[in-house]
């Protein structure tokens, strides 16, 4: 019945517009009573995002099941992938909803509040892991915001392409950027010459960076980037 | 009259609660008509955040006045400082509003939408500056989100301390973290011994990092951090 209500609601939203559709219209099309609607959805907004509550619960459970062995930035990236999974489960529904949300300010506001809840869940977990580190709460908030922004940038680009292509490749790439910015190891790429006995260490395999001890880290990093990119 | 309306509104919000106060109550206390209220504020929410529209306009103008010489990450950090300035202008009002916003879900939602508009303004500017760079739009979104999160983390900690202490020091520190993560040069600290003829270069002023060329950048960075922190 829940799925029937969502299907009826979306059919009407697309035909008449979101604002012009009432809960009465939805239940009439689905052939159920108003009480049934409100048993599943607290409001008309909620029927547009029927799976976020479940996904938030999944994310919270996933993070709660972490242990000390999980690298924290990698872990919140994996948690964000749960949201992607929810969108990718049903591409055509996700694309329809994306278009609808862009048109209706009230839905945009609802979505912002959902995104904020995901971000809080990630930040809470990171605060726990960063306890005792300098700037732990700052780092937690910044990393959580960066992960959400990267995820949403990739998700939007997939939705704008009408859900074509592989969403997870785009999201992996975006999350990899955040991981590199915050010092978490990205998934190790396969070496170009794995254990190749024909390719012994050569002197050009070594980069030497010489730096004054007082130099700010960003300058050292920039030098390394420049050096590595110069080949 | 605008200030009188804000003052009357806050007096009533604190005495009776936000939900229990009507626009009629506010205009009666301020001694003006309803039309005057709506000339300044589209809704009751807006009277709680009377300066965000001006601040958003200031931020947009500030970013529009940038040129190629401005380092982009530094520039959006400076733009974020305009928001801090608005809060720091009137600490007791800002602290009152912070407490009120925490209690009223509707105001929290309003605030999220304002924060989102600031973040969009920063991201738009960065997209323009990052045009043609690999992952320009991704970087723009992630950096904008990180700047907003760092700013808000520092702002909240200042508000929680009842607006005591120097807000800008806290915010500078938070934004410095974002700058270091995204490779933008932080404001150069004064050298410990500026042009000191008594302190010639010594061998211990040099760090040498040796790395295999194929090593991922994050490992090189981690090594440098470890080395520099080991003293």
B163-221 pLDDT, tens digit per residue, is: 898 999 999 999 999 999 986 554 544 445 545 545 444 433 445 566 666 666 666 66
- Rounded to a whole number of angstroms, the distance from the CA of B17 to the nearest CA of chain A is 23
Identify the pLDDT of residue B202.
41
Looking from the CA of B215 toward its CB, the CA atoms found within 13 Å total: 17
Q: How far is CA B151 from CA B29, B68, B186, in A?
A: 35, 24, 15
Identify the pLDDT of residue B63.
98
Structure tokens at B61: 């103008």
| B contact residues 12-41, partner A, Cβ 8 Å cutoff | none
Identify the pLDDT of residue A184.
52
CA-CA distance, B73 to A218, in Å (whole number)?
13
Mean pLDDT computed over A103-123: 92
Most distant CA atoms of chain B, gap in Å: 76
Comparing CA positions, the residue from A49, A163, A151 lying closest to residue A100 is A49
Comparing CA positions, the residue from B230, B188, B186, B191 lying closest to residue B207 is B230
Instruction: For chain B, give every residue range classified as CATH 1.10.10.60.
Output: 1-48
Mean pLDDT computed over A217-224: 66
Q: Which of A53-62, A84-93, A205-214, B108-117 has the lowest mean pLDDT?
A: A205-214
Residue B50 confidence (pLDDT) above 80: yes
B144 touches chain A (CB under 8 A): yes
Mean pLDDT computed over B53-76: 95
Residue A224 confidence (pLDDT) above 90: no
User: Which residues, at least 6 apart from B188, have a Cβ–Cβ distance to it below 8 Å?
Assistant: A216
Identify the pLDDT of residue A204.
38
User: Which residues, at least 6 apart from B105, have a Cβ–Cβ distance to it below 8 Å?
Assistant: none
| A contact residues 111-130, partner B, Cβ 8 Å cutoff | 112-113, 116
Residues of B in contact with A205 (CB under 8 A): 212-214
Residues of A in contact with B187 (CB under 8 A): none
Identify the pLDDT of residue A185.
52
Residues of B in contact with A174 (CB under 8 A): 138, 142
Q: What is the CATH number of domain B1-48?
A: 1.10.10.60
- Residue of B177, B192, B213 to mutate, interface with A, max A Cβ within 10 Å: B213
Residues of B in contact with A192 (CB under 8 A): 214
**Partner residue facing B146 (CB), from A109, A142, A221:** A142
B3-25 pLDDT, tens digit per residue, is: 899 999 999 998 898 999 999 99
Domain A1-43 CATH assignment equals 1.10.10.60:
yes
**Three-state SS sequence of A36-49:** HHHHHCCCHHHHHC
Identify the pLDDT of residue B203.
36
Structure tokens at A155: 């998700």
Comparing CA positions, the residue from A221, A48, A27, A117 lying closest to residue B184 is A221
A38-78 pLDDT, tens digit per residue, is: 999 998 989 999 899 999 999 999 999 999 999 999 999 99
Identify the pLDDT of residue A216.
65
Q: Which residue would you say has higher pLDDT here, A142 or A221?
A: A142
Reported as type and span, the H/E element at residue B6 is helix B2-16
Confidence of residue A83 (pLDDT cuts 50, 70, 90): very high
The answer to whether the CB atoms of B185 and A218 lie below 8 A apart is yes
Identify the pLDDT of residue B210.
60
Mean pLDDT of chain A: 85
Spell B115-127 as b/e; 16+ CB within 10 A means b.
Answer: bbebbebbbebbb
Please calculate the CA angle A23-A27-A29 and round it to the nearest 5 degrees.
115
Residue A230 confidence (pLDDT) above 60: no
Residue A100 confidence (pLDDT) above 50: yes
The DSSP symbol for B204 reads: G
The answer to whether the CB atoms of A218 and B184 lie below 8 A apart is yes
- Rounded to a whole number of angstroms, the distance from the CA of B10 to the nearest CA of chain A is 25
Residue B73 confidence (pLDDT) above 90: yes
Residues of B in contact with A180 (CB under 8 A): 217-218
Looking at 1.10.3720.10, 2.30.40.10, 3.40.190.10, 1.10.357.10, the CATH number of the domain B49-181 comes to 1.10.357.10
Identify the pLDDT of residue B106.
84
Reported as type and span, the H/E element at residue A62 is helix A52-64
CA-CA distance, A136 to A133, in Å (whole number)?
5
Identify the pLDDT of residue B204.
38
How many of the other CB atoms lie within 10 Å of CB of A209? 17
Highest-pLDDT range among A190-194, B98-102, B112-116, B120-124: B120-124
Residue B227 confidence (pLDDT) above 80: no
In a 3-state reduction of DSSP, which class is residue A208? strand
Structure tokens at A158: 């997939």
B169 touches chain A (CB under 8 A): no
Identify the pLDDT of residue A211.
62
Q: To which residue do tokens 């292509």 refer?
A: A165
Mean pLDDT computed over A126-150: 96
Q: How far is CA A111 from CA A20, A123, A149, B109, B201, in A?
A: 20, 18, 14, 10, 57
Identify the pLDDT of residue A206.
47
* Percent share of chain B, pLDDT over 90: 61
* Percent share of chain A, pLDDT over 70: 79
CA-CA distance, A183 to A151, in Å (whole number)?
18
Instruction: For chain A, give every residue range classified as CATH 1.10.357.10.
Output: 49-181
| A contact residues 48-107, partner B, Cβ 8 Å cutoff | none
Residue A213 confidence (pLDDT) above 90: no
The answer to whether the CB atoms of B142 and A177 lie below 8 A apart is yes
ipTM above 0.90, yes or no: no
The answer to whether the CB atoms of B137 and A145 lie below 8 A apart is no
Mean pLDDT computed over B32-60: 92
Instruction: For chain A, give every residue range classified as CATH 1.10.10.60.
Output: 1-43
The answer to whether the CB atoms of A138 and B177 lie below 8 A apart is yes
Contact A176, B169 (CB under 8 A): no
CA-CA distance, A19 to A114, in Å (whole number)?
20
Confidence of residue A218 (pLDDT cuts 50, 70, 90): low
């Amino acid at each position: 019945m829940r799925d029937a209500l969502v299907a009826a609601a979306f059919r009407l939203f697309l035909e008449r517009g979101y604002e012009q559709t009432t809960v009465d219209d939805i239940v009439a099309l689905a052939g159920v009573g108003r009480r049934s609607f409100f048993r599943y959805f607290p409001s008309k907004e909620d029927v547009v995002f029927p799976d976020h509550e479940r996904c938030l619960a999944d994310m919270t459970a996933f993070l709660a099941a972490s242990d000390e062995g999980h690298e924290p930035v990698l872990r919140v990236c994996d948690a964000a992938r749960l949201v992607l999974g929810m969108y990718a489960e049903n591409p055509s529904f996700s694309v329809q909803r994306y278009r609808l949300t862009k048109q209706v300010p009230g839905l945009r506001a609802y979505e912002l509040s959902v995104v904020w809840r995901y971000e809080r869940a990630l930040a809470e977990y990171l605060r726990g892991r960063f306890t005792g580190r300098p700037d732990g709460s700052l780092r937690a908030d910044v990393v959580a915001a960066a992960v959400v922004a990267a995820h949403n940038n990739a998700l939007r680009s997939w939705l704008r392409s009408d859900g074509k292509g592989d969403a997870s490749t785009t999201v992996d790439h975006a999350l990899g950027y955040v991981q590199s910015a915050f010092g978490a190891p990205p998934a190790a790429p396969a070496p170009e010459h794995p254990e190749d006995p024909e390719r012994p260490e050569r002197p050009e395999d070594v980069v030497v960076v010489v730096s004054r001890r007082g130099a700010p880290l960003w300058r050292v990093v920039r030098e390394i980037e420049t050096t590595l990119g110069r080949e």
